[in-house]
Amino acid sequence: MVRLDENLPAAGEELDNNLDDSLTDDVELPPCNLYSDEPPLETDLHRNQIDLLIRLLKYWWQDRQDFYISGNLTVYYNKQQLKSRDFRGPDVFVVLGAEKRDRRSWAIWEEGGKYPNVVIELLSSSTLKVDQGVKKTLYQDVWRVPEYYWFHPETLEFAGFRLVGGKYTDISPIAATESDRPREANASLRLPSEQLGLELGIHERQLRWFTAAGDLIPLPEEAERQRAEQERQAKERLENYLRSQGIDPSQLPET
């Protein structure tokens, strides 16, 4: 969650110089391996939400080595922004086709010119206008992020946009069944991500990843509880069957 209202471009000033201009042979590249330079997150809700989304995707894609996900980490995107300290730190971003390793920051010139495929911003009273204004314009016109989502952890405001013909268009939500009707605004809203082949939706007042089939992606501890419950139910069914056949399960020989 980064405050940009003190660092907005002046009237008539370009948001960015093209990355290609800063990658020519006769231009000195910025230093490598830069540290992230993001301010502290505003609330526990925002920090926990960022950690949750990152942890979930890392778990779900644990066997994949071709992606990078991080949050509240600086994305340095050219030398001019580095000098003016006009860089950006998305709350959550995913880059596909990237090496899966830890980084101090994401520097475009060190990553083969790769920008994020998906960006998620968490709204707050102090950053809402920036996330829905300056940042949306930056992600659309300069970074050209294919999919941009925002979510407010307190009000549950949730929206997504897909880059079509160079402009963001609203991502249509997955149609909810009658049993999924929300008890509060956006409570069952799910938006598909074509980039990731997943869905984003709200579950118990948190933004969560869902499979393309609409199943909630569990945390490791949730998956373990599900596995244990399935084993318990299977054992119970077997014992009931044995009793129906006149066999006392407790009298079976140990293997």
Q: Is residue 114 part of a domain?
A: yes
Kindly state whether residues 78 and 164 are assigned to the same domain.
yes
User: Would 228 be classed as within a structural domain?
Assistant: yes
Q: What is the pLDDT at residue 153?
A: 94
Contact 85, 28 (CB under 8 A): no
Q: Give the total number of structural domains in the chain.
A: 2
**pTM score, two decimals?**
0.73
Specify whether the CB–CB gap between 69 and 91 falls below 8 A. no
CB 90 within 8 A of CB 77: no
Report the alpha-carbon distance of residue 21 to residue 234 in Å, rounded. Answer: 62
Q: Give yes or no: residues 227 and 122 share one domain.
A: no
Do 147 and 44 share a domain, yes or no? yes
What pLDDT band is residue 6 in, cutting at 50, 70 and 90? very low
212-239: average pLDDT: 78
Domain shared by 126 and 240, yes or no: no
Q: What is the pLDDT of residues 149-163, one digit of tens each?
A: 999 999 999 999 999
Please give the structure tokens belonging to residue 217. Answer: 């992606």
Q: How far is CA 78 from the centre of its chain?
A: 23
Same domain (yes/no): 110, 122: yes
Distance CA 16, CA 21 (A): 11
189 in the same domain as 118: yes
Q: Long-range contacts: 60-64, Cβ < 8 Å, 24+?
A: 60/209, 60/217, 64/100
Encode the chain in three state secondary structure. Answer: CCCCCCCCCCCCCCCCCCHHHHCCCCCCCCCCCCCCCCCCCCCHHHHHHHHHHHHHHHHHCCCCCCEEEECCCCEECCHHHHHHCCCECCCEEEEECCCCCCCCCEEHHHCCCCCCCEEEEECCCCCHHHHHCHHHHHHHHCCCCCEEEEECCCCCCEEEEEEECCEEEECCCCCCCHHHCCCCCCCCCEEEECCCCEEEEEECCEEEEECCCCCECCCHHHHHHHHHHHHHHHHHHHHHHHHHCCCCHHHCCCC
Residues 128 and 227 in one domain: no
Give the pLDDT of residue 185: 59
Same domain, 45 and 146: yes
One domain for residues 225 and 210 = no
- Is residue 53 one of the residues assigned to a domain? yes
pLDDT at 1 over 70: no
51 has a pLDDT exceeding 50: yes
Q: Does residue 31 lie within any of the structural domains?
A: yes
CATH number for the domain spanning 167: value is 3.90.1570.20
- Scan for tokens 């997150």, then name that residue: 41
Tell whether 156 is covered by a domain. yes
Please determine, for residue 247, whether its predicted confidence score (pLDDT) is greater than 90: no
One domain for residues 234 and 113: no
**Number of C-beta neighbours around residue 194 at 10 A:** 13
In a domain, 255, yes or no: no
| Tens of pLDDT, residues 58-86 | 999 999 999 999 998 988 887 665 554 55
Say yes or no: 241 and 176 in one domain.
no
Q: Token pair of 132, please?
A: 């829905």
Domain of residue 232: give its range: 219-250
Within this chain, do residues 232 and 203 fall inside the same structural domain, yes or no? no
**Residue 128 is assigned to a structural domain of this protein:** yes
**Two structure tokens written together for 241:** 């069957």
Assess contact for 134 and 156: CB atoms under 8 A.
Answer: no
